[in-house]
Amino acid sequence: MNSKPLPADPMIRELVRHAQKAQLNRRTLLTGAAVGASGLALAACSTGTGEVTAATDESATNKKVRWDNWALYIDVDDAGNYPTIDVFEAQTGISVEYTEAVDDNNTYYGKVKDQLSLGRDIGADTVCLTDWMVARLIRFGYTQKLDHANMPNVANLLPSLQDVDFDPGREMSVPWQGGFAGIAWNKEQVPNGIKSVQDLWKPELKGRVGALSEMRDTMGLIMLDQGVDISGDWGDDEFNAAIEEFSKQVADGQIRNIKGNSYKEDLVNEDTLAAIVWSGDIVQLNAENGDKWDFVVPDAGGTLWNDNFIVPIGSPAKSNVEELINYYYDPAVAAEVAAYVNYITPVAGAKEAAEAIDPALAANNLIFPDDDTLSKAFVFRGLDNSEEQKYNAAFQSVLLGAA
């Protein structure tokens, strides 16, 4: 763990200085609020029994990582460059092809599932997906086992995240960032604010409300608003009551848009004035478009989740990915990313390193949550196969009806 104000490595030191300077543009609001033909080639082998084996690791001779991620999910400077990636490339000689390819978990999986089932290269060497989707990929045998000896900095992983039910011992995945789903609203257009999911159903917001296409986040907030502990013991009755409410609000035209990461554009162009959203996006939208939105985790609760690095079964660059993961688990680098994305970093020591960038950053409960903030955050309980199929089908039917 490194908690020194400035790291010894000169490149990392320069990175922190860059972040300090960038705070004037990116963080002032915080205190106030190529997949070519080779990418489609067979890179792993099918056993003929439905199982696939990992691709041969070519990292020693091909110093490249193709990284698929969500939008607004890494540090970016005014020129559109990624400062932490630039430093990683300079330190290691590994080039990084970074693509904002993930809009939501289901649409991404829909694009790559056939290739994964055949053990083919999906055109990405690592992708950051949410816990429940990572659980599915691990269960189907679509991920490669990570070598922790190549990632000594992963010892900085927060203790609460070191051993999870879908990946005991973190053999197949490690967290990238975490966050909350809550509610945001346009402060100019909704001056009285939003305190609960029920407030989204007010007549004056009809046709101007947005929701997330991630079932666990949208349904999670509605269920919490109905008094259900989504991390506890609940079943069909509780879910059906929430889906009935969701379906009604869609059918009545109260909810206008149901989207993945692209919901941000609807807030900017004011197609939606209030929405169920992801926490870090709102501070970034405020920084880029003016201090127009506010965010709250409702008193009834919000969802808590993590997105995780995995190496797809067909990637020929596992060791390169492990070197990338190791780099991002340096507390100073993790703090630099947190300064931009405003999500929960999984790296112990990052809060202390963040003090060197911006003391307000280290005090932000959406990035380094305190006990009171965490008391209102709930992890959507794990679903078995039949539940996942049943509840997803019900949710998707509402989305199809809204299309």
CA proximity to 111, closest of 72, 143, 68:
68
Q: At what angle do helices 331-341 and 83-92 cross, to 10 degrees?
A: 150
Owner of token pair 């990052």: 350
Please state whether 362 falls in left (phi above 0), alpha (psi between -120 and 50) or beta: alpha
Segment 28-33 shows an average pLDDT of 31
Please tell me the CATH superfamily of domain 179-304+377-402, with its number. Periplasmic binding protein-like II (3.40.190.10)
Q: In one letter, which amino acid is 192?
A: N
Residue 323: pLDDT over 50: yes
Do the domains 179-304+377-402 and 10-178+306-369 match in fold?
yes
For the stretch 253-266, pLDDT in tens is 999 999 988 899 99
The whole-number pLDDT of residue 204 equals 97
Lowest average pLDDT, out of 22-31, 109-118, 308-317, goes to: 22-31
Which of residues 246 and 280 earns the better pLDDT score? 246
Residue 329: pLDDT over 50: yes
Task: Assign 403 a pLDDT band (cuts: 50, 70, 90).
Answer: low
Please tell me the CATH superfamily of domain 10-178+306-369, with its number. Periplasmic binding protein-like II (3.40.190.10)
Q: In one letter, which amino acid is 211?
A: A
For the stretch 159-195, pLDDT in tens is 989 999 899 999 999 999 999 999 999 999 999 999 9
Say which residues have a Cβ less than 8 Å from residue 86's Cβ, sequence separation at least 6.
none
CA proximity to 246, closest of 266, 286, 218:
218
Q: At what angle do helices 83-92 and 318-328 cross, to 10 degrees?
A: 120
The whole-number pLDDT of residue 31 equals 29
The whole-number pLDDT of residue 27 equals 32
How far is residue 362 from each of residues 77, 110, 337, 344, 377, measured CA to CA in Å?
Answer: 21, 38, 13, 11, 19
Residue 390: pLDDT over 80: yes
Q: Where are the domains of the chain?
A: 10-178+306-369, 179-304+377-402
For the stretch 85-103, pLDDT in tens is 999 999 999 999 999 999 9
- Max CA separation in the chain (angstroms): 61
The whole-number pLDDT of residue 260 equals 87
Residue 157: pLDDT over 60: yes
How far is residue 307 from each of residues 128, 344, 369, measured CA to CA in Å?
Answer: 6, 10, 17
Buried b (16+ CB within 10 A) or exposed e, 209-233: bbbbbbbbbbbbbbbbbeebebbee
The whole-number pLDDT of residue 171 equals 98
Residue 37: pLDDT over 60: no
Residue 42: pLDDT over 70: no
